[in-house]
Amino acid sequence: KMAGSSAPWIGSAYLFLQSTCKTIVLPSLYESSQKKPCVFKALKLALEESTGSRNGVDILKVHCSHPHLIVQLKFCKQENCRRFLQSYREGALQESLQKHLKFSLAVTTVPLEMELKAGNEHLDNMLKDEDRCLECIYREKPDRLRDEEITELEACLEGLIIHQSISNSMAVNDCAALNSPSLPYPSRVSSLSPPVTFIFQGQQFANRTLTPDDHQKFAKLVSKKWKQVGRSLQKSCRALRDPVIDNLALEYDREGLYEQAYQLLLRFIQSEGKKATIARLIAALEENGLISLAEELLGLHSNEDCS
């Protein structure tokens, strides 16, 4: 028997995806650091369309099990799950995902085969009995929290939406409408934000979330000390553990110091969201003797052109 009105309705299912085109191998694309955000974006948009809500279904983890890409889903409301099942049964989800993969991967077509499972139950065999499907999904409680990688990908997706909005309209306020706590560059400070002021060199400054301008200035001016700054930030940021910093150094070695520093701060911003504040970055710069750069970010070198 499913839960009554007094308890939240939560269930889980696995969506198995396979491309029938030999040249498009979804697990390989997802394992590619360049293509992974494209595949994730298509998944996210298709699932949103299937429930008619941005938060209708959560992606907890994406597994690569050749030839399948397996998406672990979590539903928090029965009505959302019901809309998802209807979309899946009618082929709308499949059509939507094919469309979004086509655009995200810039290919002519992505023919898909899909299968839906909850535990040992193959839901494709009982799609006409929606209530039975709901019961199977409800019985399968999620066995994990959202994977850290999924959190990073969602932040990355929000970042793309923000940059597109800025470049199209130059109106940062449009980004606030996204209403997400994981926006890489939050456009407003909520009541849950860190302290509103901090002290630097004996002066008091307004604390705020990092902006694209801060990001670019840091990457341009920090030079070889980007690793040291990263290790200072890692004390309060799990996303910047030593292997991550070392991997960034290797992965972006050819692109040079600017890109290495840019990617470092991007990880910090994506991981910390609204907690990625100027105060935390200034403290890390101060710890590593980068006072001039700290002053630059705080606008104390107004006579110099660092745009």
- Burial annotation 18-55 (CB, 10 A radius, 16+ → b, else e): bbeeeebbbbebbeeeeebbbbbbbbbbbbbbbbeeee
Q: Tens digit of pLDDT for each residue in 35-75? A: 999 999 999 999 999 998 888 899 999 999 999 999 999 99
For residues 69 and 179, what is the distance between their CA atoms, to the nearest angstrom? 29
Note the pTM of the prediction, 2 decimals: 0.54
- The tokens 């709901």 sit on which residue? 134
* Tokens (6 digits) for 28: 């390989």
- Distances in Å between the alpha carbon of 180 and those of 65, 154, 188, 232? 31, 10, 11, 27
Burial of residue 10, with CB atoms counted within 10 A of its CB: 0-12 exposed, 13-18 middle, 19 or more buried: middle
- Distances in Å between the alpha carbon of 10 and those of 63, 90, 197, 208, 222? 21, 23, 41, 36, 47
Note whether 259 and 204 are within 8 A (CB).
no
Note whether 75 and 81 are within 8 A (CB).
yes
Q: Confidence class of residue 168 from pLDDT cuts 50, 70 and 90?
A: very low
Higher pLDDT pick, 140 / 302: 140
List domains and CATH numbers for the chain: 11-152 (3.30.70.680), 197-298 (1.10.533.10)
